[in-house]
């Protein structure tokens, strides 16, 4: 198994280092190769996604990605900004299906911004379409407004679009994922206002006819945003477009206590994938040993399950993370009264110890 390791920028290098340590405890044979991506690649090679990095990602069985970006690159022309590397990888690898589970671990119910009873036992799966929608639609740009009350004024525009095959394949992914869970799918759209999402709703409904065992409901995105904080446990599998999924999955992340806990998988039609934490490069805490590495470690578990066919190893990582949380260790983002604050490296040490069968001391203070 060949795994491309792309740490990226900011906390990306710190959290990926811990995830790789965890992988090395698994008694599995991996070939890993590391390459620069994002701002680090721009500095070294003049481009956020150099040819060699893209080639490595295409040849690998799976990609472990940290995060990219830094405010210092905000003035670069768009094509050279670090974030373009993610869009380029998604497009070139055909990673159209993004899985973002939002699971609230029992030990973290008090770290959530919602009342514990609302999030205890929460386990939802957001499936976000990743290669279409307004993020990729053409044309886009700036021009003089051709009409309207501000005709002639400078304007910017993007294009929201989805083709039938793009909606069909993500709908199949969602219904098939629901079969392995509680057999319920909520499709989130804005069919009341947007033509693109009326089409989305029509096509999802058509595909649903092939899955009579699955319950489907449709919800407008504004209501979904509200329901996620009002009664999140009403959801099981949520399927939605690229932009709505981007926003809702970050909202769901906070239900779990911290974005530092949320892994993700982005898969193509062949089941190959890129695995990354849902958060960004967090320049505000980079290099300070403050980042939570657990989302990246849990992304490795998703990689083992979805792309490398080692579900038992995935279970081991997830159990090790639970064990460490139960022992009372917390990085700053999930710390609460009565638990013990540790840094990135110490959290990695604890997961590695749990994977190696060494018991971590129970140090919960409460």
Binding site for ligand NAD (CB under 6 A): 11, 15, 67-70, 83, 86, 259-260, 276, 279-285, 291-292, 295, 333
Edge-first strand listing for the sheet containing 263-267: 31-34, 2-8, 62-67, 273-277, 263-267, 97-103, 123-129, 237-240, 184-189, 215-220
Q: Compare residues 1 and 332 and give the one whose CB is closer to ligand NAD.
A: 332
Distance CA 242, CA 245 (A): 5
Question: Among residues 246, 275, 333, 349, which one is catalytic?
Answer: 246
Known catalytic residue at 211 = no
CA 79, chain centre distance (Å): 22
Cβ at position 107, least distance to ligand NAD in Å? 17
**241's tokens:** 């477009």
Q: Is 102 exposed, middle or buried, given 0-12, 13-18 or 19+ CB atoms closer than 10 A?
A: buried
- Residue in 217, 222, 284, 315 annotated catalytic: 222
CB of 281 to ligand NAD, least distance (A): 4
Instruction: Specify whether 213 is catalytic.
Output: no
Least Cβ distance, residue 204 to ligand NAD (angstroms): 26
Smallest distance from the beta carbon of 68 to ligand NAD, in angstroms?
4
Residue (19 or 291) nearer to ligand NAD, CB: 291
**Closer by beta carbon to ligand NAD, 29 or else 75:** 75
Active site annotation includes 246: yes
Q: Are strands 215-220 and 340-341 parallel, antiparallel or unpaired?
A: unpaired
Task: Check if 250 is active-site.
Answer: yes
* Residue 43: both structure tokens together: 């500095």
**CB 162 to ligand NAD: min, Å:** 22
CA 299 to chain centre: 8
- Residue 365 · residue 340 · CB < 8 Å: yes
Q: How far is the CB of 217 from ligand NAD (least distance, A)?
A: 29
Backbone angles phi, psi at 280, to 5 degrees: -95, -160
* Given 9, 73, 133, 190, the catalytic residue: 190
Look up 61 and say whether it is catalytic: no
CA–CA separation, 8 vs 48, rounded Å? 9
Residue 245 Cβ, how far from ligand NAD at the closest point, in Å? 13
Q: With contact defined as beta carbons under 8 Å apart, do 164 and 203 qualify?
A: yes
- Residues carrying an active site annotation: 135, 190, 222, 246, 250
């Amino acid at each position: 198994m060949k795994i491309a390791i792309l740490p990226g920028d900011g906390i990306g290098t710190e959290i990926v280092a811990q995830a790789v340590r965890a992988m090395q405890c698994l008694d599995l044979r991996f070939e890993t190769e590391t390459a620069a991506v994002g701002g680090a690649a721009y500095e070294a090679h003049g481009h956020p996604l150099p040819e060699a990095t893209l080639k490595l990602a295409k040849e690998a069985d799976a990609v472990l990605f940290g995060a990219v970006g830094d405010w210092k690159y905000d003035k670069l022309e768009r094509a050279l900004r670090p974030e373009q590397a993610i869009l380029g990888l998604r497009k070139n690898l055909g990673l159209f299906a993004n899985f973002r589970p939002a699971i609230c671990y029992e030990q973290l119910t008090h770290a959530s911004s919602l009342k514990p009873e609302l999030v205890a036992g929460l386990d939802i799966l957001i499936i976000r379409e990743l290669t279409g929608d307004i993020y990729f639609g053409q044309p886009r740009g700036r021009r003089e407004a051709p009409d309207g009350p501000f005709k002639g004024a400078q304007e910017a525009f993007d294009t929201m679009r989805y083709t039938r095959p793009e909606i069909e394949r993500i709908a199949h992914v969602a219904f098939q994922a629901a079969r392995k869970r509680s057999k319920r799918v909520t499709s989130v759209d804005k069919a009341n206002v947007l033509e693109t999402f009326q089409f989305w709703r029509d096509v999802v409904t058509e595909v649903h006819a092939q899955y009579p065992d699955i319950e489907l409901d449709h919800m407008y995105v504004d209501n979904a945003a509200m329901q996620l904080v009002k009664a999140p446990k009403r959801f099981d599998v949520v399927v939605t477009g690229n932009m709505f999924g981007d926003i809702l999955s970050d909202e769901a992340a906070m239900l779990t206590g911290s974005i530092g806990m949320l892994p993700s998988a982005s898969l193509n039609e062949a089941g190959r994938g890129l695995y990354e934490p849902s958060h960004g490069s967090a320049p505000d805490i980079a290099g300070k040993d403050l980042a939570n590495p657990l989302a990246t470690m849990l992304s490795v578990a998703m990689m083992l399950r979805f792309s490398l066919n080692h579900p038992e190893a995935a279970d081991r990582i997830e159990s090790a993370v639970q064990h460490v949380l139960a022992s009372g260790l917390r990085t700053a983002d999930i710390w609460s009264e009565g638990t013990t604050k540790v840094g990135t490296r110490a959290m990695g040490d604890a997961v590695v110890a749990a994977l190696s069968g060494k018991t971590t001391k129970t140090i919960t203070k409460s």
